[in-house]
Amino acid sequence: MIADLRVFDDEFVPPDLLHRENEIEQLLRRFTTRHPAESDVLISGPSGVGKTVLARTAVDHLETQTDVTRVFVDSLGKTTGGILRAMLEQLPRGPNEVAQTLPTRDVCREIREAITSETIVVLDEGDDLPQTNAVGELLAMANVTVVVIAHDGTDWLSRLDVTDGHRLDQGHLELGRYGVDELADILERRARQGLHGEPVSRAQLEAIADEVAGVARHGIQSLRSAAVLARERGHRRVRDRDVDDSYEHARHRIRKLNLSSLPFHHQVLYAIIHEAEELSASELHDRYDAVSGDIYAGSPPQPLGERARREKLSKLAEYDLIDYDGPTRDRLYWVIDSDVEPLLELPGRMPLE
């Protein structure tokens, strides 16, 4: 039944993008404007509605028609220097690797030197960009068109420097969720590309589209899960039961991938929260202090202070792995899916009392 699971990957760019024709046209119009300062774009919208794939499709299309150079940078967690270095490394005439310690102004100079033709840079996961100078530096470069992808466009613009913000506000494209029919069309196309013999019915695809409320990423992942579950269970076609179970299966898989992408400190904190079903900040810190001696023994990373732990906790929450509630004082933390096992074993718990 399963022909090619890569079709369901986030990175997969379909040959043509359904139900975003107007948006693609809008982007291409803006990219080809005669006024360089009017070509920059901010693409905003909720998670999983196809912001990245839209940008890719439009920019790829442009590349086939003009001699524009395109660069994609994942901005998540990167500093100004990190973003600019990633861009420089991807330029055709740029170096393959740039030293982390190269001063940012030198990186900018080298980017200018490496750019020979019109260049489009797509800054994906750009929510934290206003805290850096990267957007300003790039907007200041001639021959560079900036495309930023972020969740809340209005909030993003308000946090950016006013003149830069104005420029991107002019080219602000807000994407909404797909309608049920639209998303079902998209899923139908993916099913045809990734599965043999049409094993999923239109009604099932519509059920998925409805359940995920128009969020394409969740829909595509659920479709993948439904096919995987059907195969595991020896079904020749996807059954409704497989679809019903696919939502949680898909969310579970995404969380596992999220967890495994995080570094050591986050793993320690996740393991502690996972071990207790629910715990307060002070319990969390006590447990951390109790186990950190063993956990960090002989390893280069050293135990974190409480302030740094808070940063890691918000990252875990951002990755949909933990959640918390309550006012600052009585806040409780818990893991969202206790079936997502920690990758790290904690030393045995001391008996309480």
Partner DNA sequence: ACTCCACAGGAAGGATTGGGCA
Partner DNA sequence: TGCCCAATCCTTCCTGTGGAGT
Residues that bind DNA (CB under 7 A): 78-82, 99-104, 265, 280-282, 285, 300-308, 310-311, 313-314, 327-331
Residue 168 beta carbon to DNA: minimum distance, rounded to whole angstroms: 22
Nearest in space to 272 (alpha carbons), one of 315, 352, 333, 319: 333
Residue 102 beta carbon to DNA: minimum distance, rounded to whole angstroms: 7
Contact (CB, 8 A) for 220 and 187: yes
Residue 158 beta carbon to DNA: minimum distance, rounded to whole angstroms: 14
Nearest in space to 342 (alpha carbons), one of 249, 248, 257, 275: 275
| Rounded Cα–Cα distance for residues 57 and 173 (Å) | 15
> What's the half-sphere exposure (Cβ side, CA atoms, 13 Å) at 254?
23
Considering the complex, state which of residue 223 and residue 316 has its C-beta at the smaller distance from DNA.
Answer: 316
What is residue 332's three-state secondary structure? strand
Considering the complex, state which of residue 181 and residue 294 has its C-beta at the smaller distance from DNA.
Answer: 294
Q: What is the distance between the terminal CA atoms of the chain, rounded to a whole angstrom?
A: 55
Considering the complex, state which of residue 69 and residue 75 has its C-beta at the smaller distance from DNA.
Answer: 75
Considering the complex, state which of residue 81 and residue 165 has its C-beta at the smaller distance from DNA.
Answer: 81
| Rounded Cα–Cα distance for residues 180 and 193 (Å) | 20
Strands laid side by side in the 332-335 sheet: 279-280, 332-335, 322-325
Considering the complex, state which of residue 129 and residue 220 has its C-beta at the smaller distance from DNA.
Answer: 129
Considering the complex, state which of residue 175 and residue 262 has its C-beta at the smaller distance from DNA.
Answer: 262
Residue 112 beta carbon to DNA: minimum distance, rounded to whole angstroms: 16
Residue 282 beta carbon to DNA: minimum distance, rounded to whole angstroms: 3
Contact (CB, 8 A) for 19 and 178: yes
Radius of gyration (Cα) for the chain, nearest Å?
Answer: 23
- 301-330 burial: b if 16+ Cβ within 10 Å, else e: eebbeeeebeebbebbeebbbbebeeeeee
Considering the complex, state which of residue 94 and residue 199 has its C-beta at the smaller distance from DNA.
Answer: 94
Nearest in space to 309 (alpha carbons), one of 297, 325, 322: 322
